[in-house]
Amino acid sequence: MSVDTSLALTIDGRASAEAPLPHVWSVCLGAGRANEALRADWQSHFREAVGSLGARYVRFHGLFHDDMFVYRASNGGGFGPPTPLTAPVYTFAYVDKVFDAILAAGARPFVELGFMPRELATQTETLFWWKAHCSPPTDMAAWVELVTATVEHWIERYGLDEVRTWPFEVWNEPNLVPHFWTGTRTEYFQLYEATARAIKAIDPSLKVGGPSSSVFVPDSRYDGEYHDKSVEAATAEATDPDALPWKPVWIHELIAYCAERELPLDFLSTHLYPTDYAFDTQGVGRSISRDRDATRSDLEVMRQVIARSPYPHAELHITEWSTSPSSRDNMHDTVYAATYIARAFLQCHSLADSISYWTFTDVFEEGGGGIGPFHGGFGFVNEQGIHKPTFHAMAMLNRLGDRIALQTEHGIITRTSEDAVAAVFFNYPDSMGSRSIGGATRYVQTHRLAGEGPDRHIAHTVTGLRPGDAYAVETLDLEHGNVAEAWHRLGEPLNLSPRQVADLAAIADDLDRRSLTVSADGVLEIDITLAPWAVMSIAPRNP
């Protein structure tokens, strides 16, 4: 006779009252641009992100960029002027290679529709090293035809049922005028309207949303049609940025626009970097780091906005999130970032449908290739595929079950099956108070956090488990898996030899590994001390 052990699990002498644990951190991961996904190393890193980190979707820029050769209004031009075509031609060879690779890895695209093909752009200004065109189209009907042809191609290639699972996001950060969008807010809303109607005309079940706006701000810099830098001074010069009224950008306005015109809005998307960059009265830019709980606070606001809107059932997707929006922030390479993101994700698991970490790999060329193997890139892995501490933190989160048995300020215990558990604990040092980890323009600047403390004692008694089961205990801290520090001690070489790559990869994966065993009466005793900034995983050794 079998025993229902799901009723027997107790923790610290109390019966487990279980709630769902959505793995919002692994629903979607970010990447730079579509063309980078043609690279073998990008695809290798992505397969690992799917297999080890649980990634289910991936989002990137540049689907319609010229280096993907989707939109052709002319032909040739290699040794002479291009020849105009009588009508645009759409070719999907490069896009097909990218999407085939994503699906073959076991994931799906979170489709960002952008940027503008050069031959359809109203502006010649470009963004990034790879020269993205971020203007409204010269002909909205031509844009609609491009979007329609692309989506219909995907349905023909992959089937309608598959494409119905893909979210379609209109553009990226259009509030960042004139960088990601050279038009007005109204022109973006018109682009959204035309795109959303086109997608729903293909199939009403396809999901479309936006505005993919950039960060919360506490001022009115994006309230009007144009970005007015003069309103940023109070933000830049604030002595206590956390006391400012941080608010979403273009969210209320898009909701109102869509409701007035009865437009579809299946999901709201925005980006929640816990930072800001504002200009003072002298025109000097200042980087502002908000408190450690800023992401949770912003998500709570977003949930309230959606609940009170004409679209109360709209999903909420945070389509970019990281400790900062800089791809040259050396904090990204550290254990400090790993602890920060583990804490933030566990705080926010019930507040969004996805929180997409930006990005899963350092194969990322907005500012060109990175200078050196640890240059502060966003990735969980560097360009050589070496695991950063953030990779291990995400792998630990991925091992968690889908039901919460106990959650505290310093970790979580989950049920992975009827008679097994998995846990993650961390030590975000008490001496940090409400401070975030901030940023660093050079690696050595990250050392300012090394002296924070104290240690943290974690003790829990879990009963109702299967006697004799072995649990793997894995700890990341400043002494284990701290690969950027090892690189720093080598003298920060810019060009690694094959031997150095192998040695650093071994250090990156050399976590403190131990084991625990469930006693004969089904008890697992967890009694550990975590050093400052440590992140620990406890999971069944043979799940």
- List residues with catalytic annotation: 173, 320
- Residue 344 has what DSSP assignment? H
Map residue 108 onto helix, strand or coil.
strand
Residue 115 phi/psi, 5-degree rounding, is: -85, -160
Strands 83-90 and 71-75: antiparallel
Task: Give the rounded distance of the alpha carbon of 59 from its chain centre.
Answer: 9
The closest of 362, 378, 358, 328 to 30, measured between CA atoms, is: 358
Cβ neighbour number for residue 284 with a 10 Å cutoff: 9
Residue 354 β-bridge partners: 317
What's the token pair of residue 462?
Answer: 């879990």
User: Given its phi and psi angles, is residue 264 left (phi above 0), alpha (psi -120 to 50 degrees) or beta?
Assistant: beta
Q: Report how far residue 511's alpha carbon sits from residue 386's, in angstroms, rounded to the nearest whole number.
A: 14
Side-by-side strand order, sheet with 10-11: 14-15, 10-11, 456-463, 523-530
What own/partner pairs with CB < 8 Å and gap ≥ 24 does 343-346 have? 343/292, 343/426, 343/428, 344/292, 344/295, 344/296, 345/24, 345/25, 345/397, 346/397, 346/407, 346/411, 346/412, 346/424
Q: CA distances (Å), 197 to each of 121, 148, 186, 208, 282, in order?
A: 21, 10, 16, 9, 44
The closest of 450, 454, 460, 432 to 525, measured between CA atoms, is: 460
